[in-house]
Structure 1
Amino acid sequence: MTRIVVIDNHGQFTHLEGRALRDIGVDTEILENDTDPAEIDADGIVLSGGPSMDRVGRCAEYLELDVPVLGICLGMQFIAEELGGSTHSGDYGGYADVTVEILDEEDPLIGSLAPETRVWASHADEVDEVPDGFTRTARSDVCEVEAMSDPERGLYGVQWHPEVAHTAEGEAVFEAFREICDAW
């Protein structure tokens, strides 16, 4: 059975990420973001959302574990900044229903989603420049980088929350990530 751990960056939906993974048959556990990377035995890692870049614990070390990583909201922003991209404060603060345009139908994480899909996202902060090696894979009228991927390194990010009921194809995102982890 595929094992994917969720790293808790103190986000309000972290428990739903674990549940969404369990619901699709993944062995999962939620770990604090100060967990020693040597103690992590997993086929993949989800970096949860959270309130602050100042509270991401040892997330940088988890990117070095040679397993696929999916960053959600703050998790994606962290990956971008850690690997040489950049973020900024968004023009739209709180959570909102957003229609996302999928830009790459070949992307292993979100390429199978509808060309336009409804998601639930916060844009208090957002990625404005993807790191070298990444491709911008989704955009919206609110944010130019709604998702990014670097399949070569197994690193992915979505600005939105696939774990909440307001996101139309959230389960498909987690299923695609499981497939990425299984193939890795």
Structure 2
Amino acid sequence: MTRIVVIDLHGQFTHLERRALRDIGVDTEIVSAETPADEVDADGIVLSGGPDMDRVGNAPDYLDGDAPVLGICLGMQLIASELDGAVGSGNYGGYADVDVEIVDDEDPLVGSLAPETRVWASHADEVTELPEGFDRTATSDVCGIEAMADPDAGLYGVQWHPEVAHTERGEEVFENFVAICESA
């Protein structure tokens, strides 16, 4: 059975990320961000959403492992920040329904959602510049980089929250990430 660990970055929806994975048949658990990466054995890593970059603990170390990583909201921003992309304040704060355009229908994480999907997202902070090697895979009128990917490195990010009921096809995002982990 595929094992995916959710690294808790103190977000209010972290438990829903674990539940979404469990509901599609994945062996999963939530692990503290203070847990050293070399103590976690998993086929995939989810970096949860969270309130701020000051409480990410050892989460950056998970980017150096062999397992694919999915960053959700703050998790995506962490990936960008650690790999010399840029994160800044968004023009739209708070949570809202957002229509997202999938700009890369070949992307293994979000390509199946093309041409567009409706998501629940917070844009108080967002990725403003992609790290080297990454492609923008989704965009919206609210945020230029709604999703990003570097499949060669096994690193993926979404600004939105696929784990909440307001996101139309969130389960599909998790199913796609499981497929990525199983083929890695």
Aligned to 1:94: 94
User: CA–CA distance in 1 between the matches of 2:134 and 2:114?
Assistant: 21
User: CA–CA distance in 2 between the matches of 1:114 and 1:52?
Assistant: 30
SS at match of 1:173: helix
SS at match of 2:127: strand
SS at match of 1:63: helix
The Cα of 1:169 is off from its aligned counterpart by: 0.5
**Ranges in structure 1 where 5+ consecutive residues have no aligned partner:** none
Aligned to 2:108: 108
SS at match of 2:81: helix
SS at match of 1:87: strand
User: CA–CA distance in 1 between the matches of 2:38 and 2:135?
Assistant: 30
User: CA–CA distance in 1 between the matches of 2:145 and 2:38?
Assistant: 32
1:157-184 deviations in whole A, cap 9, x for unaligned? 0000000000000000000000000000
The 5 Å alignment of 1:16-165 reads: 16-165=16-165
User: CA–CA distance in 2 between the matches of 1:42 and 1:170?
Assistant: 22
User: CA–CA distance in 1 between the matches of 2:88 and 2:153?
Assistant: 24
* Deviation larger for 110-119 or 72-81: 110-119
User: CA–CA distance in 1 between the matches of 2:38 and 2:67?
Assistant: 13
**Ranges in structure 2 where 5+ consecutive residues have no aligned partner:** none
Structure 1 segments of 4+ aligned residues over 6 angstroms from their partners: none
1:94-131 deviations in whole A, cap 9, x for unaligned? 00000000000100000001311000000000001010
TM-score (norm. length: structure 1): 0.99
SS at match of 1:6: strand
Report the residue type matching 1:118 in the other structure.
Answer: R
Aligned to 2:170: 170
| Contact 2:49–2:75 (8 Å) recurs in 1 | yes
User: CA–CA distance in 2 between the matches of 1:92 and 1:37?
Assistant: 34
User: CA–CA distance in 2 between the matches of 1:80 and 1:22?
Assistant: 27
User: CA–CA distance in 2 between the matches of 1:157 and 1:62?
Assistant: 14
The Cα of 1:39 is off from its aligned counterpart by: 1.2
